[in-house]
Structure 1
């Protein structure tokens, strides 16, 4: 038996029903007809997108990272999400990862994402919390990088490079801004 790497938790309302656009029941449009999501590589693939994995695995602590559970968050329409939370594993431990669509990567939102990733790491006894910002175009990547630098107090930050901030507790915080060419996997 072969199972996918991920268990995916869809977004539902308080009654446990799927959330759709007004007038869209989930039955009228085939999934292939839904608008493409900016985070499609994170939503549809059975593995962490290859180039994002390459950025993560540049840190020896994250070698062999695989996703276990992903939760789609902040829905803005059918098959469009602004963020994804992933519980991943590396040999011997768990990792909490938030992936944010760069369009929503404000200074405040990135700090909130870092706090959320850390709180989930604490909840699941993970030793690493990660925030990844996925840009969709070169212009978006260049314009958003200054917010990333500001949010993480990382002067001179470069795209596609994983940074780590040591903290007082036992959970390390890492973060990276992924350029568009890093989306395909």
Structure 2
């Protein structure tokens, strides 16, 4: 049996297959038939997505980062999933990571994600906060990059690169990730 690399909290199920409605069309899919989401790789429990690990590893303090516990944020009834949080471990200490799907990215939602991740960092004594916007395409990632700039009042000139958003305690790092990471 293959074990997950880290734990993912999931809502309790009554054993019935949930249905997911596709827009206002009336068409619905069972959970296994629904269109893929960029958040699926984050919530699969198979570890941090490779693209995100590559971006984080460019900073020496995150070179060996691994997830410990992941939690979908927002409503459990919300499908597809648009946000999540992971408590991760690196040699530099614990890291509170918030992830937002670029398709559901606004400055207000990113501010909420940052507040959630910062409060979680304080609760679990994490030394660092990371806010990531995950996109399937460069166009979506560009939307996420602009939302990060607006939310944190800082320049984010490149996609797939980690930036220190402000000098605070704990430090907050941000990045807009393109492609399926």
Superposition TM-score, scaled by structure 1 size = 0.81
- Runs of 5+ consecutive residues of structure 1 not aligned to the other structure: 12-16
Q: Map residues 81-96 of structure 1 onto 2, 5 A cutoff.
A: 81-91=81-91, 93-96=93-96
What is the aligned partner in structure 2 of residue 172 from structure 1? 171
Over 3 Å counting, the alpha-carbon distance change for 1:40 and 1:2 in structure 2 is closer
150-159 or 96-105: bigger deviation: 150-159
Note the alpha carbon deviations across 1:134-184, whole angstroms, 9 max, x for none: 012232223343222111212252110101134343x1111100012xx24
- Is 1:49 the equivalent of 2:40? no
User: Which secondary structure state, in structure 2, belongs to the residue aligned with residue 141 of structure 1?
Assistant: helix
Note the alpha carbon deviations across 1:4-62, whole angstroms, 9 max, x for none: 32111013xxxxx439xxxx932788753233223111122511001100101111111
What is the aligned partner in structure 2 of residue 122 from structure 1? 122
> What is the number of residues matched between the two proteins?
172
Cα distance in structure 2, aligned partners of 1:138 and 1:148: 15
- Runs of 5+ consecutive residues of structure 2 not aligned to the other structure: 20-28
- Is 1:25 the equivalent of 2:20? no
What is the aligned partner in structure 1 of residue 26 from structure 2? none
CA RMSD in angstroms, aligned pairs only: 2.6
Contact 1:99 1:133 in 2 (8 A): yes
Which 4+ residue blocks in structure 1 deviate beyond 6 angstroms?
27-30
User: Which secondary structure state, in structure 1, belongs to the residue aligned with residue 82 of structure 2?
Assistant: strand
43-52 or 126-135: bigger deviation: 43-52
What is the aligned partner in structure 1 of residue 160 from structure 2? 160
1:74 CA drift (Å): 2.5
Superposition TM-score, scaled by structure 2 size = 0.82
What is the aligned partner in structure 1 of residue 105 from structure 2? 105
Contact 2:86 2:96 in 1 (8 A): yes
1:93 CA drift (Å): 1.6
Cα distance in structure 2, aligned partners of 1:79 and 1:108: 20
Cα distance in structure 2, aligned partners of 1:100 and 1:125: 22
Cα distance in structure 2, aligned partners of 1:117 and 1:60: 21
Contact 2:97 2:131 in 1 (8 A): yes
